[in-house]
Amino acid sequence: MYYLGIDIGSSSIKVSLVEIDSGKCIGLVKQPEKEMSIFAAQKGWAEQNPEDWWFHICNGIEKIKRSHDVSEINIKGIGIAYQMHGLVIVDQQGNLLRKSIIWCDSRAVDIGNKAYKAIGESYCDSHLLNSPANFTASKLGWIKENEPDIYNKIYKIMLPGDYIAFRLTGAINSTVSGLSEGVFWDFKQDEISKVLLKHYDIDEHLIPDLVESLGEQALVSKKAAQESGLLEGTPILYRAGDQPNNALSLNVFQPGEVAVTGGTSGVVYAISSNPSVKETYRINNFAHVNYKKETIKNIGKLLCINGTGIQYRWLLENLEVDSYDEMNTLAKEVMVGSDGLCILPFGNGAERMLYNKNIGTRIVNLDLNRHKKGHICRAALEGIAFSFVYGMEIMKADGVEIKCIRAGNDNLFQTDVFSNIVATMLRQEIELYNTTGAIGAARACTIPKNGYDAFRAYLEHDRIKSFIPTEDKTAYQIAYKHWKKELELILNTYKNDNTRR
């Protein structure tokens, strides 16, 4: 018997199968082979057709069943993870009214910033725990302002995962975690924010009914069974956005537990039960997957760093090296501090944790007589690691207590030099696990019936290793102090330039 996991990314769809008894992943497929299309009619826009998601999900389910000779009769539950902050709108017949405005679309930034001021910054901070910024509510506000004919036909709005659940079951619903990522949730009143809806003049009837993130949400319909190859009546047992789901995949549920990712961009996702926030401009706060009204108030605090893995990949492509392994070996041959060479890895657009400044990548103190490839590799890893440490300092100032850090095995955290720097600077062991979002979504299906202990037992077999802090961190502290000084010089330059203007 198996659980099925679906992970709806913006580049691909992943489908996994795990054994119910053991939690072992028996299969993982990705669709399509090439990345899915993102439509950009104007600069800063990003849209996808939700029909494409559904098409690739159905293909992925068919492929994984065939590859592993699994009958739909033996699939007993479905878990869904999805790209966060997107907006899908349908009419009363359930037909799409337009393409989805996805997470990386920036057209609603000004609308969200105006809402932050109009509603009141202190109100947003204490009730929404976020600025409306460029999230789903602001994207809906953009449609109301710019596409009124389409807006007037809306029956319900959905997040990407809600739409796939709708295609699977015919039921339109969402979760508290999902609505909070769209900045629709009032944490103080524990309800959909009437103040936000009033500001945007949005009818509350457009918001889906609520179901629990973990629990039976709806059953696969006859129509969806025919299209997807699943059995009619199979329950959806779990749904969450990609970052809360990544945390769940790593068994991050309780205050003090932190999930980290170092892919193209970097993410720190920490659990807190403290509803008081100070850094809503630099940190986002969402209801975690185990948030329950009036009882469990666990909040996922998310900090994103754009310029992480993309920096290291750029070096791989431009430094005349054959592999990441070669780069890591070269980096290990250089002492901590890279002999004074310093890299600020912020070359992937505006950095939210730097107050949306776009300072680019900076290579500082390069000595053409002394510094070689190894110094560049080491300085890059140090710079990326120090950006995580810098972000963690912001999170600690916002009330986060770090008790454990966990990471998956498909990113920078599998690199010894990198993880040892982070572990040493934070004085915290980093646990590395071999799991993914699609696998975590499938495994989450066990929680409603069998509880969190059953889920934790699944993960025990996936632990790979830990990175233990180096006892003497003096050299790391000196290097970090130097790196931070260079960062502050650049930030002050930007500040002074803006003052002159």
Residue (of 356, 351, 390) closest to 483 by Cα position: 390
Same fold, 2-245 and 251-306+398-467: yes
Strands, DSSP E only, in 348-389? 360-364
* Whole-number pLDDT of residue 500: 42
Predicted model pTM:
0.94
Q: Return the CATH fold of 251-306+398-467.
A: Nucleotidyltransferase; domain 5 (3.30.420)
Beta bridge partners of 257: 404
- Which tens digits make up the pLDDT trace of 3-60? 999 999 999 999 999 999 999 999 999 999 888 999 999 998 999 999 999 999 999 9
Check if the beta carbon of residue 185 is closer than 8 Å to that of residue 176: yes
Query: What are the structural domain ranges in the chain?
Result: 2-245, 251-306+398-467, 309-393+473-500
* Architecture (CATH level 2) of domain 2-245: 2-Layer Sandwich (3.30)
* Whole-number pLDDT of residue 498: 54
Q: What is the rounded distance in angstroms from the CA atom of residue 230 to the CA atom of residue 390?
A: 46
Q: What is the rounded distance in angstroms from the CA atom of residue 424 to the CA atom of residue 419?
A: 8
Check if the beta carbon of residue 121 is closer than 8 Å to that of residue 186: no
CATH class, range 309-393+473-500: alpha beta
* Whole-number pLDDT of residue 383: 97
Mean pLDDT (the chain, rounded): 95
Measured in whole angstroms, the distance separating CA 80 from the mean position of its chain's CA atoms is 14
* Whole-number pLDDT of residue 342: 97
- Which tens digits make up the pLDDT trace of 246-288? 999 999 999 999 999 998 889 999 999 988 888 888 999 999 9
Q: What is the rounded distance in angstroms from the CA atom of residue 363 to the CA atom of residue 141?
A: 41
Tell me which residues of the chain have a pLDDT lower than 70: 496-501
Residue (of 134, 152, 118, 476) closest to 304 by Cα position: 134
* Whole-number pLDDT of residue 496: 62
Give the count of alpha carbons within 13 A of 442, CB side only. 31
- Does the CA dihedral 475-478-483-486 come out positive or negative? negative
Residue (of 273, 272, 266, 271) closest to 250 by Cα position: 271
* Whole-number pLDDT of residue 280: 86
Query: In this structure, what is the dihedral angle of CA atoms 370, 375, 376, 381, given to the nearest 10 degrees?
Result: -160
